[in-house]
Amino acid sequence: MNETNRNKIWAISASDSCAGAGMQADLKMAHALDVECGTLVSALTAQSSWGVDAVETVSVEFLQQQWQSLKKDGFPQAIKIGWFPKDEAFINWLADKLSEYKNELPGGWIVWDPVLSASQGGLATGELALLKQLLPLVDVITPNQQEALQLSGCQTAAEAGEALQQAGVSYVVISGGDSDIDCDYVQSLCFAGANISEPEQAVLTQFIIQQPRIRQEIHGSGCHFASAVAGYLANAERIYDALLLAAANMSVVIQQASYTPSGYLNAWADVLDKDGMGNLAAGQWPQVYPLTGAVNLEFPVLQRPLGLYGLVDNLDWLTQLLALGVDTLQWRVKSRAQYEQQFGPGSYRRDMQRAIELCQQHNIPLYINDDWPLAIELGAYGVHLGQEDLLAANLSAIASAGLALGVSTHTEWEIARARAFKPSYIAFGPVHPPLSKQLKYPPLGYTRLSNWCARVGQEFPLTCIGGITGDNIAHIRACGMLSAAIVTDLMPDDDLAQRHQRLRSYYPGATEA
C-alpha cells in the first residue's frame, strides 16, 4: 500500500451550498495543489448564484471541538481564514487559537481573506475594533480594495496597504479585481516587510502584480486566491513566489469557471500544472512592477541564441576564450579597487575598453556586468544586471544608448519582474550550487528549469548559470535551454581547450543552435 505524506492547511470558513466560494473553494483549491485541507466550519449557508438566502453560524464551543479534533493529527503548515461571524465571542476565540498556533508552530503561516464586501454590509465601529486585534497575528491578508479601505479607514488602496502593515500584518495583498473595471489589466498592490534572509524582499517591498483582466463575473475568486496562497506556502514556496503563483492561478480559475443560470459564474480550481510551474500562455503570466508603476522601455532583440556563454574577469582569460570561439562573453569584475590593485592604476577602464574592442573584432557580444555607466560610455554591446542592480541602474539611459540588457533571475517573482522590463535576455540560476560563489537561493533543478524554458522561452532568449560543467551540461541542453553560462569549467589552465571542446559538443555554435 502506497502512502503519500502531503502537506496540509486548515480552512476556517463558512460552507457555501452552491460550492463556488467558502469551504468548498478551500477544498477544491487545496486538492488542485495536492495539499490536504482540514476544515473548521464557522457557518452553514443556504445560497445559490443569485445570492445568500440564510446563514446559520456554528457555536464557539463546537468550533473549539473542531480545533481540538484536528489538532490530534498535528498542526498544518498554513491556516486560511475566510468568512466568520463578526461577534466578540468568536473573534476572541479565534485570536486565542491563532496565538496558540503561532506559539506551537512558529514557522506556520496564517492567511486571511477578510470577506467584508459591500453585500455583507458595512462594519460597525465595535466590529472593526474587534477585527483589528487579529491583524498582528496574520502573516498574509488578501482583501479587495473595498475591504482594505473598510479595515484600514483609509481613502486610497496604497494608504490602506501601509496602514494594514503598520497594524502588524507582514504581507498585504490588495487584489484589484474590483477596481477600474474598464482597464484591460488587473493590478494587485503588495506590501511586504523587509526580510534580509529573502534576497527579493531586500530588493523591493512594495510592488504591483499585473495581469490581463478576464471579463467574467466570478463567485469565489477571493476565496480561491487566499487558499492558493496558503497552499503554496504549505508546499514551501517562497512567499513572493506564493503570491505570484496564486495570482497566475486566478487566470485559470476564472477561465475555467462553471456556468450558473444567474451569469455569476462559480470559480473553478483547475489550476497550474501539479509542479506549480505553468500551463498558461506566456502573455497571461503576471508581471511585477514597482508601486510607482511601469516604465516603457525597449531593449535590442537578439538575433541568435546566446549559446556557450563565458564569464571572465581579466583580459588574458577573455583572449583565450575568444581564441577558442565561445558565442557570448560577460566582463564580470566585481571590484574596481581590487582590479586596479592587481593590474595597476587605470587598468579597470583601460582593460574594459580593450575587452570591448576585442569582442567587436571577433563579432562576439560582450555584456558588462553591473557597471552600466562605463558600458554606455565605452560603447559596449550590452549590460547584465542582477535584481539589486535593476533598482540603481538608469534603465532609460541604457535603452537610449541602444545597449542590450540581460537580467539575472532566481525565482518566479524575479522572472515576473524581469519580464516587465522587456530585456534582451533573461538568465536563470543557480541550476546547481555555484562553483564560483555562494548564493542565497536554492538550486533550481532540471524540472523547474525545463518548465521555465518552455514558458519564458516563448518571449525571451534565455541562458542559465550555476555549477554547469561538462559532466552535467547534457542535462541543461535536454531541458530545452539554448545557452549555458559558465565560469569555473571555462577557467584558463592546461585543460581548458579539452573542457571547451566537451562543452561545445552540446552547444555547437549559437548560429547552429
- pLDDT tens digits, 301-356: 999 999 999 999 999 999 999 999 999 999 999 999 999 999 999 999 999 999 99
The mean pLDDT value of the chain amounts to 91
pLDDT at 234: 98
Alpha-carbon separation of residue 279 from 26, 149, 242, 475 (angstroms) = 21, 34, 16, 22
pLDDT at 434 (0 to 100): 72
pLDDT band at 123 (very low <50, low <70, confident <90, very high): low
The residues near 177 (Cβ < 8 Å, ≥ 6 apart) are 144, 186, 221
Beta carbons within 8 Å of 278's beta carbon, 6+ residues apart = 248, 272, 285, 451, 454, 455
Same fold, 8-290 and 307-512: no
Cα separation, 383 vs 371, in Å, equals: 8
What is the CATH T-level fold of the domain 8-290, as seen in this structure?
UDP-N-acetylmuramoyl-L-alanine:D-glutamate ligase (3.40.1190)
Q: What is the predicted pLDDT for the residue at 505? A: 94
Q: How far apart are the first and last CA of the chain?
A: 47
pLDDT of 169 > 50? The answer is yes
Question: Binning pLDDT at 50, 70 and 90, where does residue 193 land?
Answer: confident
**pLDDT number for residue 122:** 58
118 has pLDDT over 50: no
- Residue 279 pLDDT grade (very low, low, confident, very high; cuts 50, 70, 90): low
Percent of the chain with pLDDT over 90: 78
Distance of CA 423 to the CA centre of its chain: 18
Q: Rounded distance, CA 37 to CA 53, Å? A: 27
Give the integer Cα–Cα distance in Å for 435 and 426: 21
Range name among 1-15, 160-174, 377-391, 488-502 with the lowest pLDDT average: 1-15
Pairwise CA distance, residues 29 & 52, whole Å? 22
Q: What is the pLDDT of residue 166?
A: 94
Note the pLDDT of residue 215: 84
If you count them, how many residues does the chain have? 513
> Which of left, alpha, beta for 220 (phi over 0: left; psi -120 to 50: alpha)?
left
175-189, 207-221, 396-410 — which is least confidently predicted?
A: 175-189
510 pLDDT tier (thresholds 50, 70, 90): low
- Whether residue 247 has pLDDT greater than 90: yes
Residue 125 has pLDDT above 90, yes or no: no
Residue 212, Cβ density class (10 Å: 0-12 exposed, 13-18 middle, ≥19 buried):
middle
Q: Residue 46 region, left (φ>0) first, then alpha (ψ -120 to 50), else beta?
A: beta
| Cell (9 digits) for 300 | 535590442
Distances (CA, A) of 157 to 117, 128, 263: 15, 18, 29
The listed CATH number (3.20.20.70, 1.10.150.20, 3.20.20.150, 1.10.760.10) that belongs to domain 307-512: 3.20.20.70
When pLDDT is cut at 50, 70 and 90, the band that residue 508 belongs to is confident
Most distant CA atoms of the chain, gap in Å: 81
Predicted local distance difference test score (pLDDT) of residue 296: 83
DSSP structure string for 340-351:
HHHH-TTHHHHH
Residue-level pLDDT at 273 = 61
CA–CA dist 121, 175 (Å, integer): 19
| DSSP secondary structure letter of residue 258 | B
Domain residue ranges in the chain: 8-290, 307-512
pLDDT on residue 513: 37
Total Cβ atoms within 10 A of residue 389: 17
